[in-house]
């Protein structure tokens, strides 16, 4: 399929503080006690992947490691479980970022799905090796819902960059 250039609209530069603020919000969302409901999206993985694609020089494996450890602690998971998965996710997302950005958001979502699935597979493998029980196939539903949220998230997180440089009162956004 021929890539379109719709996604390469010229935007304002992203602000680093906004990227980290959105990561913190994602962390808070991941702490919401949903129990064992299947299909709860992995917010932190999603936002980390987003910024690794958009701003590979500012958000990368270091952020993945830091937020992975914080998720591990909040979830009572094994220390390093999410960190490992997110580091690999950020590495892969950074390395495919040039290619993925050529596509419109819906096709980006299709490309993100295998990456998000891989992070979950890494976590399952790590815990199975350590002797845990297999959590059931429903567990993997989460990466599907995460990938489905890619398009609205894309819009939401790019909103600050859609602002025009010269503010025009007749045209608010």
Partner 1 sequence: MRLLVLVSVCLAMLVADLKFRYLEVVRQALSVATWPLQMAAAAPADFVRNAAVYFGTLVEVQKDNAALRGRELEAAQRLLRFEQLEEENRRLRGLLDMGPAVAAKSVAAEILYDAPDPFDLKVILNRGSQQGVEAGMAVVNEQGMIGQVTRVYPVQAEVTLLTDKDQAVPVQVARNGLRGVLAGAGQGRLELRFTLSGADVRVGDRLVTSGLDGLFLAGLPVADVVSVDRDAQTFAVIVCEPVAGVERTTQVRLLGRAEPPPPRPAPEPEPEPRKGLKG
Binding site for partner 1 (CB under 8 A): 24, 27-36, 61-62, 64-65, 68-70, 73-81, 83-84, 87-88, 91, 126-127, 130-133, 135-136, 139
Burial class (CB in 10 A: 0-12, 13-18, 19+), 167: exposed
What letters, b where the CB count within 10 A reaches 16 and e where it falls short, cover 142-158?
bbeebbebbeebbeebb
Min dist CB 70 to partner 1, Å, is 6
Q: What pairs with residue 168 in β-bridges?
A: 171
Min dist CB 79 to partner 1, Å, is 4
Min dist CB 20 to partner 1, Å, is 14
User: Would you say 14 or 29 has its CB closer to partner 1?
Assistant: 29
User: Would you say 133 or 166 has its CB closer to partner 1?
Assistant: 133
Min dist CB 80 to partner 1, Å, is 3
User: Would you say 31 or 102 has its CB closer to partner 1?
Assistant: 31
Q: Which residue's entry shows tokens 């530069």?
A: 13
Within 10 angstroms of residue 34's Cβ, the number of other Cβ atoms is 11
User: Would you say 39 or 104 has its CB closer to partner 1?
Assistant: 39
Helices 43-54 and 141-148, packing angle to 10 deg: 50
């Amino acid at each position: 399929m021929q890539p379109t250039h719709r996604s390469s609209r010229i935007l304002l530069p992203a602000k680093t503080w906004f990227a980290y603020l959105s990561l913190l919000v994602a962390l808070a969302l991941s702490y919401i006690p949903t129990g064992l409901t299947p299909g709860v999206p992995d917010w932190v993985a999603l936002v980390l992947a987003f910024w690794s694609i958009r701003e590979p020089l500012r958000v990368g494996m270091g952020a993945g490691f830091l937020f992975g450890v914080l998720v591990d602690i909040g979830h009572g998971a094994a220390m390093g479980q999410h960190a490992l998965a997110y580091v690999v996710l950020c590495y892969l997302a950074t390395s495919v970022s040039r290619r993925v950005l050529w596509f419109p958001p819906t096709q980006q979502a299709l490309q993100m799905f295998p990456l998000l699935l891989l992070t979950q597979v890494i976590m399952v493998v790590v815990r199975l090796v350590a002797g845990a029980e297999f959590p059931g196939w429903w567990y993997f539903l989460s990466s599907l819902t995460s990938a489905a949220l890619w398009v609205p998230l894309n819009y939401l997180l790019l909103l600050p960059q859609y602002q025009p440089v010269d503010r025009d009162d007749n045209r608010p956004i």
